[in-house]
Structure 1
Amino acid sequence: MYPLPIPVNAKSQRIAYMLGTALIVALWLAPLAAIVMTSVRPHEDISLGNLWGWPSKFVMAENYADVFARSKMLRYFLNSAMITAPSVLFVCMLSLCAGYVLSRFKFPGNTALFAIFVAGNFLPAQILMIPVRDLMIRLGVYDTYLALIIFHVAFQTGFATLFMRNFIAALPDELFDAARSEGASPQQILWHIVLPLVRPGLAALSILLFTFIWNDYFWALVLSVDDSVKPVTAGLASLKGEFAAEWNLISAGTIVVALPPVIMFLLMQRHFIVGLTQGAVKG
């Protein structure tokens, strides 16, 4: 199931492994490097086809300043924050409660209910486009923050419940037996025992959810039209010119949009690693 370790004396195999790893990393980083380099090029370089060569001059300050000057980027950032923050909060709350019930309470239909949560992760989001759009129109929330929040909460709760259910199931049974013997109610056990112990898992889940929701592009286009609602991923389209796309500005805007998830991961990296390695693998 796992690859065998390379023997210390097998130098040729080690060299081939290192070269193969370096090649894969280079191929993976090449598009990112191209975007970064394009974000500091002048528009003339792109018009002349200089996409991979060294820029004729660096205009980093001008390009990144134009991203905010030529578009409502600050407004789009605010929109994304207004959508992402409550979505992450609600998904974490729902998945914590659902995971607690599914992992610690045995009742008829427990497995079937859990299977429904898991099955939703295998449903392609694209086939839901028309039904979800029609539903939001009937609810009167189309082209509002609430439409995107409702969808993200509904769509992400399945994965989050799977994650939290496995995490809570890994907690020692003795903790719950001792709490019940002391007369603690299920709500007290959830608040005073489960919640403190699963904080690393919630931190890891929050980072994943933040990244998924912040980077969503498809549903940002389907459920938002007005600039006062569009998140940053959909707002990047405003950087396209009427007759030609200024790819240097689009690349700079892409880097700006990608910074919040990266910064959040770096700030919470320790909690993320602990949350993924503690208990989240027990079925």
Structure 2
Amino acid sequence: MTSRFERGVTYAILALFTVTSLTPVLGILSTAFGRQSSLDTGFSLPDGLNWGNFADAWSRAHFGTYLMNSVLVTAAVVTATCVLAVLAAYAFAVMRFPGSTVLFYLFLAGLTLPQEALIVPLYFDLRHWGLTDTYWALILPQTAQSLAFAVFWMRAYFRGSPRAVIEAARIDGASSWTTLWRILVPMGRPAISTMVVIVFMWTWNEFLLALVMVSDEAHRTVPLGLAFFQGQHSSDTVLLAAASVLIALPVVIVYVLLQRRFIEGMLSGATKE
């Protein structure tokens, strides 16, 4: 058992990290609620909750269009990644076929390749096929990039699943498809939720790919829209802070909704006892 002193030190360290993490968030929020004519930034308390700053930033930056683009791209990437990762990970973890080990390590190689090294040849390939300035130029590369982690993550879960459950399903006459979708997937909701949150954050915050692949305003995502908005309102820190809060809000909402399963999946290492 830990002593009272050790618990006190632990709580003090946790409190220190909490304050450090929340400091920039509080600074952005205090700026976002300030008056647009004010020159104060950071931690000066606003003279009121100026909710109109968010509406002003929304209308000036055309975030309605950008938000719909980000929702469409993110939903497509998360859905495609989850389905493909579950299928591929189940094959690598449970099924046996020639070349499975080589193919799995080929997937893992995707974790070692930096996006900056691939963005230029990827741009020319997509331009050759006429896919630049389309949603496919954002969906396809991000799905491919996310699959490396997603397959690795879900394979760890499937390998840690009770073998007795899989064998019992096979004895009862269940096919591989039934075993996967009726037994393993419901059991693996924490692992899948963790994967969904991580892929969602990666896709929603993606900037470089959108910057290179998209040149027309109709297909801009919110991170790219914020960059252009910053260029136009570089001195208006209140509107910039309000726009930043609007962009970060969907990620916060998704995490809050899935936080219990996300933490459960992270702590368990995506495995089942």
TM-score by length of 2: 0.89
Distance change >3 Å, CA 87–CA 243, structure 1 → 2: closer
Q: Is the 8 A contact 1:232 1:257 kept in 2?
A: yes
Query: What residue number does 1:40 align with?
Result: 33
Q: Report which stretch shifted further, 247-256 or 51-60.
A: 51-60
CA RMSD of aligned residues (A): 2.3
Cα distance, 1:17 vs structure 2: 4.8
Query: What residue number does 2:169 align with?
Result: 179
For structure 2, the 5+ residue unaligned runs are none
Query: What residue number does 1:144 align with?
Result: 134
**How high is the sequence identity, in percent, across the aligned residues?**
32
Q: Which amino acid aligns with 1:103?
A: A
Superposed, which structure 2 residues align to 1:29-108 within 5 Å? 29-46=22-39, 50-55=40-45, 57-58=47-48, 60-108=50-98
Cα distance, 1:73 vs structure 2: 0.6
Partners of 1:222 and 1:262 lie apart in 2 by: 27
1:123 aligns with 2:116: no
Partners of 1:270 and 1:16 lie apart in 2 by: 26
Cα distance, 1:267 vs structure 2: 1.7
Cα distance, 1:259 vs structure 2: 0.8
Cα distance, 1:280 vs structure 2: 1.3
TM-score by length of 1: 0.87
Cα distance, 1:208 vs structure 2: 1.7
Partners of 1:241 and 1:192 lie apart in 2 by: 51
Cα distance, 1:277 vs structure 2: 3.9
Partners of 1:188 and 1:14 lie apart in 2 by: 48
Q: Is the 8 A contact 2:31 2:43 kept in 1?
A: no
Query: What residue number does 2:246 align with?
Result: 256
Superposed, which structure 2 residues align to 1:217-228 within 5 Å? 217-228=207-218
Q: Is the 8 A contact 2:41 2:237 kept in 1?
A: no
Q: Report which stretch shifted further, 273-282 or 92-101.
A: 273-282
Cα distance, 1:126 vs structure 2: 1.3
Q: Which amino acid aligns with 1:163?
A: W
Distance change >3 Å, CA 6–CA 137, structure 1 → 2: same
Partners of 1:269 and 1:122 lie apart in 2 by: 28
SS at the partner of 1:107? coil
Distance change >3 Å, CA 171–CA 18, structure 1 → 2: closer
Q: Which amino acid aligns with 1:35?
A: I
Partners of 2:26 and 2:67 lie apart in 1 by: 24
User: Pick from 183, 203, 224: which aligns with 1:234?
Assistant: 224
Query: What residue number does 1:170 align with?
Result: 160
Aligned residue pairs total 272
For structure 1, the 5+ residue unaligned runs are none
Deviations for 1:83-138, whole angstroms, at most 9, x for unmatched residues?
Answer: 00011000000000011000012333322222222221122111111011112111
Deviations for 1:220-248, whole angstroms, at most 9, x for unmatched residues?
Answer: 21221212111111111242354743221
